[in-house]
Every structure is written in structure tokens, then in C-alpha cells.
Chain A
Amino acid sequence: MKDSRPHLRSLIFETTQQCNHACLYCYNIWNKTTQSFPNSYPRGQLDTPTTLKLLNKALDETHCRHVTLTGGETLLRKDLPQILDLLNERNVTSTIITNGHLLDEPTVVDSLDRGVGLFELPLLSHKREVHDHLSGCPGAFDAVLAAIAHIRYHHGQFVAVFVGTKLNLPDLYEMIKIAFAFGSRGIMFNRFNPGGRGRDHLENLFPSLDEVHQALKVADAAAAEFNIPISCSIPIQPCLIDTSAFTNLSFGYCGAGTERAYYTLDPLGNLRPCNHTTTILGNLLEESFSDLISPERMAPFTEAVPDFCNPCQLRDNCQGGCKAAAEVCYGSLSAEEPFLHLNRLKAKPPLRAVAI
């Protein structure tokens, strides 16, 4: 009998919606706070036995060898050790995304013992005041440096995540330098992608096209200088910036609906196409994984592309950027996401003109 279970490169599990930081750029969808976008996302989390049942079901119904645990703040989840043990027993590698505040030495050792292969931690600047301000938490900078030093000391692996906003883009090079010196195995350079609480800080944080372009030049040179991989996983539209010029960086487009997808399970078992979208496909405790990600169920998400992009020959790859950001900021998956919307007049031919 043919095995029809879907292949997933990775599954994201949002362990908890609670957090001990209040990052200005936070995209957690349950944090939408503006009056124009009232927060109606389901809140809460399952108890431990039901959470383990949920994860077992996800792994039973898919071919998935890697799970990323995120939040909220992942380490606030009291039964995290049991979750890690389950993944370890099922021979599934795990990554923990954390702000590092609770990642003291015993927790690092315990996590490594339970099979955590990689930690992802924010490093937003080499300046304490900038990192703390963007994190909405005094002491965040010192805490994250201590956490990554503990990981390095115990020969664990981590990547540093830089969320590029108007406030910290000038600090990118120094941040990469510190991350490399501390032993980071890679850098995630994500342009600020508004959602959640970040939606409320759009004006203060959203970088200009020129600022992002300049930062990419800096990142490209630093990747060569330090021989470190730098990934830009928030899509950058080629009509706005010629990403092929940055040969030392890697770029990604929306992978929703493909094997590159990172389907996201929330703490209640709701499955979404990615961690940035508010679109709920259904609840995994009630339906099968295959049914939840069927082409029919995914179509409203995968087929949504802004009208502006229809003439472009890269339409199917680029898809207009991050449609989840369009959904959160402008109420529609097929709207132009902010980076495109605010820079559309600077979009260059021939990418958008070839089919006209």
C-alpha cells in the first residue's frame, strides 16, 4: 500500500503564547493589538498529555524529521523536557527558538542532553541599549550573550538572528562580528516583517528600501570576511532589489504549500501554513494532517498573489513577497505586503514589464 503521508522538511510547534519579552518587532499573531485589527486569535494551550498526543499525531501522519520549537518564549513551557524527550525518542531533530533570557547553563546542558541540535537566538545589535530597547526588556542583551556563551562552552550549536529595522540596521556588521566571535554557525538576517505587535510599530521600525539594500551589501561582505552563511528568509522581491548581486547570501521565497513549507502548529493544535499567517487550516486533533494541507484547503493561501505581480515572469517564485504580512497589515492575502506596497514605485523592469 502506497505511503501517502506528506513529506515535511520541518514543522514548527508554537509551544506557548506566553513571553517574558515584549519585542517591538514581534510577529506573533496573537499579539495584534491595534483597534483596526482586533485580536481574535485563539488563546491558550493544551495540557501535557494532549500536547504529546498532538505531536505524536503530527509525526505519525507525516514524514517529518525536524521540529522547531518556538513561542512566545519556548522556555516558559514547563513540560518542555517531556516534549524534547518525545522528539528524541522518535528520532526527530529539534531546534529551539528562544530569546535566551531563561537559557542558563543547566538548561543548556539539559537541552543538549535531550537532543536539541540547534538554538536560534536574537542578536539585534552590538549595543546593549539598542538590543534591550527592541526586545522591550532591560537585561536582554546581557542575557542572550550569556546564553550563547553557555551553548558554545558546551559545544552546542546556535545561529544568531538579526531582525533588521530602521533602528538597528546600521549595527549589522558589528553584530555579525560578535556572533561569529561567539561561535555562531550562521546568521539569519530577516528584514522587519510586520505582524503582531510589530504592526503597531510600522512607522518607527520599517526600514527604507535603500537601508535594506545597504544592509545587504554589508551582510554580503561580512559573509565572505567571516566565512559564515547568512540567510535572508523573509522574501525580498527581485523587482525591488537585485538579490543575485549578493553571491554570498542566500534568499528564500514563500514555501507555503511545497515541501519547503514550515507548517505551524499552535499550542491548541491549530495548523497554519506558516508562523506569520493568521490563517488557520483546521485543528490537528480533529482532522488528519493530509486533509488539513490538501490543495483545496491551501488554495486560498497558495494562490494569493497581488495583482501588481501578475505581469512578472517571477510571479510564481516570488509570489509578491510575504503574503502573511499583507494579510496582517492590510487584511488580505492578495494585497501587496508592506515592503512592496511602500516601494512599488521603485519596482524595476524588466521583471514586472516583460509580459505587458
Chain B
Amino acid sequence: MPDNRTESNETMKVNVFQTYQDLIQQAQLLQELSHDLDPTLIDMLQIAIAEDILFFEMICQKENRQELLDQYLTGELEIRSGTLDAARLLVNLILGEP
């Protein structure tokens, strides 16, 4: 549903930002779809979601929030140091699975 994070672009609307809730819902759907889709793609998507969630966690805790946000938006923030297993673990934790 369009809201205040929505921006019109040409003839369409886009969500410029994804919310924490969006990411959780995406992770849950991916889990549901994982049997039908290429596991390599699922892995990539899970990593991306995990990084975005990690980013949310970081800006919720850190005092230098604006600096982090700027670094993230310019691509300077290196979150991708975690392994695939770590990303999976994070997604599974979010989903409440072992």
C-alpha cells in the first residue's frame, strides 16, 4: 500500500526504503519459495536481506547513525564481511527456526 516512503517515478510508484517488517516478510516468503527456486539465488537474496537487517540493527544501536546512513547510501559501508552461513543463521533466527 503506498505510504510516505513511496516515490513516484515516471509512471510508477516505488518504495524508496524497505522497512524492517518488509525484510522479515521477504525472508519468510523466500523460505516458502526456496523449494521451487534456484538455491544459488535464494542464498544471494538471503544475504542481501540479512545485510539490510544488520544495517537496521546497527543504526538502532549506534550513536553515529547519520554517518552510517550516509556510508550505506553511498555504498561505502562494508557489511558484506559475514559468511553465507552467518546470513542463513540470521534469517533462520528471525524466522524462529533452529
Query: Chain A: residues with CB nearer than 8 A to chain B?
Result: 9-10, 66, 68, 95, 112, 118, 142, 145-146, 149-150, 152-153, 155, 157, 159, 177-178, 180-183, 185-186, 188, 223-224, 226-229, 231, 233, 248, 250, 252, 255, 262
B33 at the interface (CB under 8 A from A): yes
Query: In the bound complex, do residue A10 and residue B10 qualify as a contact, i.e. CB atoms below 8 Å apart?
Result: yes
Which of B1, B2, B25, B41 touches A180 (beta carbons < 8 Å)? B25
Q: Which residues of A have CB within 8 Å of B49?
A: 183
Query: In the bound complex, do residue B41 and residue A181 qualify as a contact, i.e. CB atoms below 8 Å apart?
Result: no
A186 CA to B1 CA, complexed, in Å = 10
Query: Chain B: residues with CB nearer than 8 A to chain A?
Result: 1-3, 6, 9-16, 18-19, 21-22, 25-26, 29-30, 32-33, 37-38, 41, 44-45, 47-49, 51-52, 75
A218 CA to B58 CA, complexed, in Å = 37
A149 CA to B18 CA, complexed, in Å = 16
Query: In the bound complex, do residue B47 and residue A186 qualify as a contact, i.e. CB atoms below 8 Å apart?
Result: no
A223 CA to B21 CA, complexed, in Å = 15
Other contacts beyond A152-B45, A181-B26, A185-B16: 6, CB < 8 A: A9-B10, A10-B9, A181-B29, A188-B11, A227-B21, A229-B14
Query: In the bound complex, do residue A181 and residue B30 qualify as a contact, i.e. CB atoms below 8 Å apart?
Result: yes
Query: In the bound complex, do residue B45 and residue A153 qualify as a contact, i.e. CB atoms below 8 Å apart?
Result: yes
Query: In the bound complex, do residue B11 and residue A183 qualify as a contact, i.e. CB atoms below 8 Å apart?
Result: no
**Closest partner residue, chain B, to A186 (CB atom):** B14
A219 CA to B6 CA, complexed, in Å = 17
Query: In the bound complex, do residue A224 and residue B1 qualify as a contact, i.e. CB atoms below 8 Å apart?
Result: yes
Q: Which residues of B have CB within 8 Å of A10?
A: 9-10
Q: Which secondary structure dominates where chain A touches chain B? A: mixed
Query: In the bound complex, do residue A149 and residue B33 qualify as a contact, i.e. CB atoms below 8 Å apart?
Result: no
Q: Which residues of A have CB within 8 Å of B75?
A: 112, 155
Query: In the bound complex, do residue B14 and residue A118 qualify as a contact, i.e. CB atoms below 8 Å apart?
Result: yes
Query: In the bound complex, do residue A183 and residue B18 qualify as a contact, i.e. CB atoms below 8 Å apart?
Result: yes
Which of B10, B29, B48 touches A262 (beta carbons < 8 Å)? B10
A-B contact pairs, 10 of them (CB 8 A): A68-B10, A95-B9, A118-B14, A146-B38, A152-B44, A157-B14, A178-B33, A180-B29, A183-B18, A185-B18
**Closest partner residue, chain A, to B2 (CB atom):** A229
Q: Which residues of A have CB within 8 Å of B18?
A: 183, 185
Query: In the bound complex, do residue A145 and residue B38 qualify as a contact, i.e. CB atoms below 8 Å apart?
Result: yes
B37 to chain A, nearest CB (A): 7
Q: Which residues of B have CB within 8 Å of A227?
A: 1, 3, 19, 21-22, 25
Query: In the bound complex, do residue B41 and residue A149 qualify as a contact, i.e. CB atoms below 8 Å apart?
Result: yes
Q: Residue among B26, B47, B49, B75 with the most chain A CB within 10 A?
A: B26
A233 CA to B15 CA, complexed, in Å = 17
Query: In the bound complex, do residue A229 and residue B6 qualify as a contact, i.e. CB atoms below 8 Å apart?
Result: yes
B51 to chain A, nearest CB (A): 8
A178 CA to B22 CA, complexed, in Å = 13
B9 to chain A, nearest CB (A): 6
Query: In the bound complex, do residue A231 and residue B44 qualify as a contact, i.e. CB atoms below 8 Å apart?
Result: no
Given contacts A146-B38, A149-B41, A149-B45, contact A118 B9 (CB under 8 A): yes
Q: Which residues of B have CB within 8 Å of A155?
A: 48, 51-52, 75
Q: Which residues of A have CB within 8 Å of B30?
A: 181
A148 CA to B49 CA, complexed, in Å = 14
Query: In the bound complex, do residue B15 and residue A228 qualify as a contact, i.e. CB atoms below 8 Å apart?
Result: yes
